[in-house]
């Protein structure tokens, strides 16, 4: 697999954010808003089929996560989370 960041589904990114200690604090429209105690600002993703690379990179910068660390972690994240399926289908 490549070490290049590619677009992923919002469900996969949701799982990744949970794995790095973020919690889904709220939704606003079709956006998911995550918080973590050490962050100065929330991490926000749209509930799109694929999250564009520029949004992923911006959120990684907010989280202080390197591209390499993200690539390793996203490979382990499951594709979807059944606990939010009913709320966001």
Supply the pLDDT for residue 77: 76
Place of tokens 């919002």: 10
Please tell me the predicted confidence (pLDDT) of residue 80.
61
Q: Which domain holds residue 72?
A: 10-77
Question: Is residue 34 one of the residues assigned to a domain?
Answer: yes
Is residue 2 one of the residues assigned to a domain? no
How high is the pLDDT of residue 78?
72
Angstrom CA distances, 48 to 20, 28, 34, 44, 78, stand at 21, 14, 16, 12, 17
- Percent of the chain past pLDDT 90, that is, above it, reads 79
Residue 89 has pLDDT above 70, yes or no: no
86 within some domain = no
Instruction: Provide the whole-model pTM.
Output: 0.83
DSSP per-residue string spanning 50-78: SB-HHHHHHHHHHHT--HHHHHHHHHHS-
Give the pLDDT score at 26: 95
Residue 85 falls inside a structural domain: no
- Domain membership of residue 82 (yes or no) is no
Domain count within the chain:
1
Instruction: Give the CATH number for residue 23.
Output: 3.30.920.30
Between CA 26 and CA 18 the distance in angstroms is 14
Rg (CA), the chain: 12
| pLDDT, tens digit (0-9, with 9 covering 90-100), for 70-88 | 999 998 877 665 445 434 4
């Amino acid at each position: 697999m490549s070490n290049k960041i590619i677009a992923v589904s919002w469900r996969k990114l949701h799982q990744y954010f949970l794995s790095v200690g973020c919690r889904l604090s709220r939704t606003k429209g079709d956006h998911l808003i995550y918080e973590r105690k050490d962050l100065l600002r929330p991490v926000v993703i749209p509930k799109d089929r694929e999250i564009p690379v520029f949004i992923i990179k911006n959120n990684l910068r907010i989280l202080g996560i390197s591209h390499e660390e993200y690539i390793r972690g996203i490979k382990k994240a499951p594709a979807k989370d059944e606990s939010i399926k009913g709320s966001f289908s």
